Amino acid sequence: MNYIFQPMTQEQAELIAYQWKYQDEYSFYDISVDPEDLQEFLDEKHRADSFFVVYRNYEMMGYFVFDEKERGVINIALGLKPELTGKGEGIRFLQCGMKYAQTKYAPVKITLSVAAFNTRAIKVYERAGFEKVNTYIQETNGGKYEFINMCYFI
């Protein structure tokens, strides 16, 4: 399947931020839940060259954020369209983003962070070859939550 990456437009950012709503505990990932996250997501200058929407068969299926924290290290964040979660799409979506990162940035490793309660995503990341590195507590969404840093070595 062909995945097409395009820089995220303001219209797409607003659509994702205000209309993508996840179910149950995954509502934690709704962009609009945290005012700081929402502001960053909607800020065109902040998105710059690092936020991309992903299309498959002319349908937007998700987005990726690629942040080169240091030379050779790309940190990714991603969001799969809510209707596609829990249906086996995650691994292919993640792998297409990893391939894109390798082609565009040629990193030696790819990192990401995931909420510790999100065992579904953690399983996908581990299946793709990511390893748990450490945990930390982060203030977000009006509380303090445990996150896991994960790393994929190229």
84 domain residue, yes or no: yes
As for how many domains the chain has, the answer is 1
Q: CATH number for the domain including 91?
A: 3.40.630.30
22 domain residue, yes or no: yes
Secondary structure of the chain: what % helix, strand, coil (to 5)? 40, 40, 25
72 domain residue, yes or no: yes
Q: Answer whether 79's CB lies under 8 Å from 16's CB.
A: yes
146 domain residue, yes or no: no
Distance of CA 66 to the CA centre of its chain: 9
142 domain residue, yes or no: no
DSSP β-ladder status, 3-7 and 131-140:
unpaired
121 domain residue, yes or no: no
Q: What is the C-alpha separation between 82 and 102, in angstroms, rounded?
A: 26
Q: Answer whether 16's CB lies under 8 Å from 29's CB.
A: no
Residues 44-87: pLDDT tens digits?
A: 999 999 999 999 999 999 999 999 989 999 999 999 999 999 99
118 domain residue, yes or no: no
Count Cβ atoms below 10 Å from residue 134 Cβ, excluding itself: 9
28 domain residue, yes or no: yes
Residues 79-126: pLDDT tens digits?
A: 999 999 999 999 999 999 999 999 999 999 999 999 999 999 999 999
Residue 2 is predicted with a pLDDT of 87
Residue 36's domain spans which residues? 3-108
